[in-house]
Chains A and B, each alone.
Chain A
Amino acid sequence: MSLTRRDVLIAGSAGFAGVALFSPPSARANDEALDLVEQLIGRKATMSDRLHLIMPADFPTGYTVPMSLYIDSPMTEADHVRQMRVFAPRNPLIEVASFHFVPQRSLPRVSTRIRLAKPQHVVAVAEMNDGVLLMTTTWVRVATDGCA
């Protein structure tokens, strides 16, 4: 079965069933990612749809994969995100970057380019000012190893 862009859009709008068409079963991946984050940071994170990690589902080279990250946050003194961290669990070195934001001065969004060694769920974790950890993952398939 070949998927056209239109198919993907229609599948996407159909919700979870559509997502399952072109990404591996994500429930297990989410559990793995949650465990990983707990190991790395020492606290439990919760999956959140406030946090958005935008990456191509398929990319020809692992050397420069575009990545955009943002979170819905008012960025006030009372309610803001302190930092957002990105992990690539299937890379030889899994830490990618930590982005630090300042309430009322910077918007909680950033774009960059990262290296991926193989197809994997990329993980983003947001640490809020009250210490809560929010998390999301995005499946990315790369055709070549960007870490060799």
Chain B
Amino acid sequence: MTTPTPRVIVPSAAAKGEIFQVKTIISHEMETGLRHDDQGNVIPRKIINKFVCRYNETVVFSVDLHEAISANPFFEFSLRATESGRLDFVWEEDGGAVYMLSHQFTVG
């Protein structure tokens, strides 16, 4: 499996109070734990189980993912521009690995 690579599409600026859209995706197989290999052994579950979006350290949107989220999990959601600062995007994988992206955001 290749290293999961997160990507985010988000504007870099917005007016105060404006609603802006965020699109996120991470390349990930989302192995469900329901599949077998050619020896009949179960391929262990390995999924992204949590996604969190923080806006200046405050959680503003999060998702608990289960096996039925498709491979390369994609989310599109909408936030309100409140102040300039940093958006952090965090994906947590079974086994404890964490993948992150940060994005500077200006409110004018």
Contact = CB atoms under 8 A, between A and B. Distances in A.
A112 B55 contact: no
Given A63-B71, A92-B34, A115-B69, A98 B63 contact: yes
Tell which of A96, A102, A106 has the most Cβ of chain B within 10 Å: A106
Nearest to B32: A147
A112 B78 contact: no
B76 interface: yes
B62 interface: yes
Interface in A71-110: 88, 91-102, 104-107, 109-110
B16 interface: no
Secondary structure of the B contact surface, majority rule: strand
A54 interface: no
Interface residues of A, number: 31
B66 A112 contact: no
Contacts of B74: 111-113
Contacts of B79: 105-107
Interface of A: 63-65, 88, 91-102, 104-107, 109-116, 146-148
List the 7 closest pairs (A to B, CB-CB), nearest first: A107-B78, A113-B70, A105-B60, A111-B76, A96-B68, A98-B64, A95-B66
26 contacts: A64-B70, A93-B32, A93-B34, A93-B68, A96-B66, A97-B66, A97-B69, A98-B64, A100-B59, A100-B62, A100-B64, A102-B59, A102-B60, A105-B60, A106-B61, A106-B78, A107-B77, A110-B61, A111-B74, A112-B63, A112-B73, A113-B69, A113-B70, A114-B70, A115-B68, A115-B69
